[in-house]
Structure 1
């Protein structure tokens, strides 16, 4: 019992210092009172790709209010692969045909860079049609596109997607 108190204190300190629960600098600017809603890891064939975190001003997710989604990469990925996958996923979610989404390719290319393990991309949904993107805390771009919030962020947050378990974790579910 004598050792329990120091162990609990150490565990509390480690949880506060953990990167998964640290508020990223870009959140202070974008959502000053940001609280983490949920987090989860995305893996392919048991190979971790990124850790995802969802942040809102009140700790509860709603499609109707601004939020931020941070992806902390655990491996290197080329920017063109991120853009191609994004357009493919948005198309699958009803954002339009490959041809109608082509004008979105240039803005996405301006937003995304090659990522290495430890890099963080944060997308801040500022309105139904707008978002701002940061790489490791530095703003890279803003995008305006009809229905962008649902079509883009739905890749991770839509409960009906291929990653329903990750989506539930991000939105604060089990």
Structure 2
């Protein structure tokens, strides 16, 4: 491999590692005592869309009564509008979408390969969102933690095997 290509790949690897470190520090600050519990890659018709990581207090099994964090690192481009619409479709599929469209539109931005979102619950009614380490919004609605996080961690997700791995089971 030419030296130039090797240097470019090394720089890219360093940038990805630093982005992961920034995101991890966001979770550590927002959720003291959080440790990685599990991780998994979500695929849609075989195409990988994102890698997910679950952080719980001390890396313990998921306890819905405690705060936890979910980090998604995207493996391809998705528009902010796509993220909003797919989230609303999943909320509807799982029991009816709450009236949070406007909040989601403020939270979700276009993502490219390597971009990440961290969602950190703050009680049952709030979730803070960070995009690539920058705080972007707080989603507030009665019971939103259980409703939103169930898309990835609930009993009726799109992929039971994805959810089991994410939960570290």
TM-score, normalised to structure 1, is 0.81
Shift of 1:76: 0.4
Q: Rg: which structure is higher?
A: 1
CA contact (8 A) 1:159 1:168 kept: no
Which residue does 1:55 correspond to in 2?
A: 55
- What is the 5 A alignment of 1:62-81? 62-81=63-82
Deviates more, 1:21-30 or 1:81-90: 21-30
- Structure 2: runs of 5+ lacking an equivalent: 1-16
Query: Deviation above 6 Å: which 4+ runs of structure 1?
Result: none
Q: What is residue 111 of structure 1 aligned with on the other side? A: 107
Which residue of 1 is the match for residue 92 of structure 2?
A: 91
Q: Indicate which of 155, 162, 165 corresponds to 1:166.
A: 162
Give how far 1:32 is off. Answer: 2.2
Q: Unpaired segments of 5 or more residues in structure 1? A: 1-17
Q: Aligned-pair distance for 1:28?
A: 2.0
Match of 1:147 in 2: 143
| Aligned position for 1:25 | 25
The answer to whether the 8 Å contact 1:158/1:164 transfers is no
Contact 1:71/1:122 (<8 A) preserved: yes
The answer to whether the 8 Å contact 1:129/1:147 transfers is yes
* RMSD (Å) for aligned C-alpha atoms: 1.9
